[in-house]
Structure formats: structure tokens, C-alpha cells
């Protein structure tokens, strides 16, 4: 095992093992009460909601209203939009009010949005710019009814970070989000040299000391980063509102696999059934959001893609929780 600096060791000890569940329960209570939009399903067999991340049809190059229509017509309860697409829509003359109305009229929630502001950078000037970007983007997505925005380790993917300092910076983001009405979700990136493991993001969320701290995990990234799926049992599901759902093949190996290898849930080798049972046991009642980047899928009809993804997610959930 590589050496670990003292601050990282203290943080991992504070946030690790069985200690994680208790603090997360405390930190997440206010978040659950004030910012969480309940999942549209709530029963033992299907306790999760189903969301469509528009990356899944990114290669078809549809405009944003069409992406929303695809999610709705396929039967999803929610859509996870990319901030860059919302910005392009506005720059092209689109109205945020009309976009919000379209989302609402299609019966969709927006529990999460995807962005990449470099909030974790060690460069003070770059980080300050990222904070201003985060403010603008939080306000933007708030206007279309979104409640959360992803906060991956952008700005620090090339090196490990001091986890306690990361927690301080995450708290700053959370305080900004609280003033705007949008919660930044601490996102795991398995390919990054920072915040690539479940224990690391859990530690940062806990040590932020903020009641709205929450995690955005991803099946592919849990695998890519080397965490065991069994580690999820130490978390509290109330501090997780969206989980990116996908699967991955056994070949290529973990060291060489990339996002393009993602496949539909159930078509790969991920331990999805045991993972889903664990999610139910720890109290996760949020959205499973289908997030794929497979160029072969991008050659298909987007409506077929969306329907197939929903059917496969539901099939895996029902098999796991029967």
C-alpha cells in the first residue's frame, strides 16, 4: 500500500469503516427534508426512481427539447441534463422558462445536472473562477427546476488531494449552493487520482460538516476506481439521491477500460443484483440514472436506446429485489 499523508489518514479514520453510517445519517437529515424530491416509486420490489442521463444519446446530437422528449416518451420519471446543453440552448435563443415548462409538462423531475467546474484545483485563481462558474450554473439549472448539480474532482484529477482540505472546499460549494437553492453532489471519478474511491468521497462529505452533503456514485466509476461494491453497506442511503446506473464488461481489464465500454445494466459483469440489495438495505430511495457513453449505442435510434435502457434497469432491479 502506498504511503498516506497524515491529514488523509486522519480523515480516513474519521470517515472510514462503521463510523460512516452514523455521521452520514446526521448530515443528510436536513438535506432529505429540504432538498430531496422523493422518488416516484416506493415499494419493496421497486424502491427506486428511474432517470435518464442524456449522455446516453449524446452521439445522436439531438437538441435539448428533443432529448427531454426522448426521456419522457420512454417512460422515465426524471431526466439528468448536462449544463453545457442547457447553456447551448439559451445561447441559441431558447427560453429557460419554456424549457422548464416543457420538462414539467412531460412529467419529469430534474434531480441532478452534470457540470465540471474546477472547484478542487490548488490554483487559487483557477479555483476562484470555478466558484464563479458554479454560481452561474447553479442559478441556471435552478431556473429549470433542478435541485442538484454534480461536483466531480475537476481541477485535481492528476494528483491526490488532502482530503480535509477537499472537505473545506466542498463545504464552501455547499454553502454557495444553499444560498441559491441547488445542492452540489460530490461525485466519484474512478479514473481520477483524487476522489476515486468510495471511502475518499465519504470522508470528504462527512468532514465537510454540512447538512446537505451528499454523494453521486456511479457503477462504472466504483469499479474503475478499485472500490469494492460491498463498501456501499457502510453508507447511509439518505445522503445519496442519484446513482449513475450502467454495467461494464470483464474485458478490457480495469486498468484499460474507459467510459466507451459502458453497456446496458445486466449486459456486463458488474455485481448489480447484490449492489441493488445493498442500496435498498441502506435506505437509498433516490433515482437510478442511466448514464452511458457507448459509441455503438449512439448509432441506434435514440427512442429505442432510451426504452431499452429503462427496460433493462427495471429487469435488473426486479430480479435483485424479488
Q: DSSP for 68-112?
A: HHHHHHHT-SEEEEEHHHHHHHHHTT--HHHHHHHHHHTT-B---
- pLDDT of 52 higher than 80: yes
pLDDT confidence of residue 70: 98
Instruction: Please report whether residue 1 resides in a domain.
Output: no
Exposed e or buried b for every residue in 25-61, given b needs 16+ CB within 10 A? bebbeebbeebbbebeeeeeebbbbbbbbbbbbbbbe
Q: Per the domain annotation, does 51 fall within a domain?
A: yes
Please choose, from the candidates 33, 51, 3, 11, the residue with its C-alpha nearest in 3D space to the C-alpha of residue 202: 11
CATH of the domain at 199: 3.20.20.150
* Alpha carbon 57 to chain centroid, angstroms: 17
**Radius of gyration from C-alpha coordinates of the chain:** 18
Domain region containing 50: 6-321
Query: Reading across the β-sheet that carries 49-53, which strands appear in turn?
Result: 113-114, 78-82, 49-53, 287-290, 240-245, 215-218, 183-187, 148-151
264: DSSP letter: -
Q: What is the pLDDT of residues 73-108, one digit of tens each?
A: 999 999 999 999 999 999 999 999 999 999 999 999
In a domain, 130, yes or no: yes
pLDDT at 21 over 60: no
β-bridge partners, 5:
none
CA-to-CA dists, residue 120 to 2, 24, 164, 187, 311, angstroms = 22, 22, 12, 12, 37
Cell numbers of 218, please? Answer: 456511479
Residue 301 has pLDDT above 90, yes or no: yes
What is the number of structural domains in the chain?
A: 1
pLDDT of residue 165: 98
| C-beta of residue 111 within 8 angstroms of C-beta of residue 80 | yes
**Predicted confidence (pLDDT) at residue 1 exceeds the cutoff of 90:** no
pLDDT of 213-247, one tens digit each? 999 999 999 999 999 999 999 999 999 999 999 99
79 falls within a domain: yes
φ, ψ (nearest 5 deg) of residue 303: -65, -40
Q: How many residues does the chain have?
A: 322
CB neighbours of residue 159 within 10 Å: 9
Q: What is the pLDDT of residue 41?
A: 52
Whole-number pLDDT of residue 46: 85
11-25 mean pLDDT: 45
What pLDDT, on a 0 to 100 scale, did the predictor assign at position 251? Answer: 97
Ramachandran angles phi, psi of 181, nearest 5°: 105, 20
Residue 7 has pLDDT above 60, yes or no: no
Amino acid at each position: 500500500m502506498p504511503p498516506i499523508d497524515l491529514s488523509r489518514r486522519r480523515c480516513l479514520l474519521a470517515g472510514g469503516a462503521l463510523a460512516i453510517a452514523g455521521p452520514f445519517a446526521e448530515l443528510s437529515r436536513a438535506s432529505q427534508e429540504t432538498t430531496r424530491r422523493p422518488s416516484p416509486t416506493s415499494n419493496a420490489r421497486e424502491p427506486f426512481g428511474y432517470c435518464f442521463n442524456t449522455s446516453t444519446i449524446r452521439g445522436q446530437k439531438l437538441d435539448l427539447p428533443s432529448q427531454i422528449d426522448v426521456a419522457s416518451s420512454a417512460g422515465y420519471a426524471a431526466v439528468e441534463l448536462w449544463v453545457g446543453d442547457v447553456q447551448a440552448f439559451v445561447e441559441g435563443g431558447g427560453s429557460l422558462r419554456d424549457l422548464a415548462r416543457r420538462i414539467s409538462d412531460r412529467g419529469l423531475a430534474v434531480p441532478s445536472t452534470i457540470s465540471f467546474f474546477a472547484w478542487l484545483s490548488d490554483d487559487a485563481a483557477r479555483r476562484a473562477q470555478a466558484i464563479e462558474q458554479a454560481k452561474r450554473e447553479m442559478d441556471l439549472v435552478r431556473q429549470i427546476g433542478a435541485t442538484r448539480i454534480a461536483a466531480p474532482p475537476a481541477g485535481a484529477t492528476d494528483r491526490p488531494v488532502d482530503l480535509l482540505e477537499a472537505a473545506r472546499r466542498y463545504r464552501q460549494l455547499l454553502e454557495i449552493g444553499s444560498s441559491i437553492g441547488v445542492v452540489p453532489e460530490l461525485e466519484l471519478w474512478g479514473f481520477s487520482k483524487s476522489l476515486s474511491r468510495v471511502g475518499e468521497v465519504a470522508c470528504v462529505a462527512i468532514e465537510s460538516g454540512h447538512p446537505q452533503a451528499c454523494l453521486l456514485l456511479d457503477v462504472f466509476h466504483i469499479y474503475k476506481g478499485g472500490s469494492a461494491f460491498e463498501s456501499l453497506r457502510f453508507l447511509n442511503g439518505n445522503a445519496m439521491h442519484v446513482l449513475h446506473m450502467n454495467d461494464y464488461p470483464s474485458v478490457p481489464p480495469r486498468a484499460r477500460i474507459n467510459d466507451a465500454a459502458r453497456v446496458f445494466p445486466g449486459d456486463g459483469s458488474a455485481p448489480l443484483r447484490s449492489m441493488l440489495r445493498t442500496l435498498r438495505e441502506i435506505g437509498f430511495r433516490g433515482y437510478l440514472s442511466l448514464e452511458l457513453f457507448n459509441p455503438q449505442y449512439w448509432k441506434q435510434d435514440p427512442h429505442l436506446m432510451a426504452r431499452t435502457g429503462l427496460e433493462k434497469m427495471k429487469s435488473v432491479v426486479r430480479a435483485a429485489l424479488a
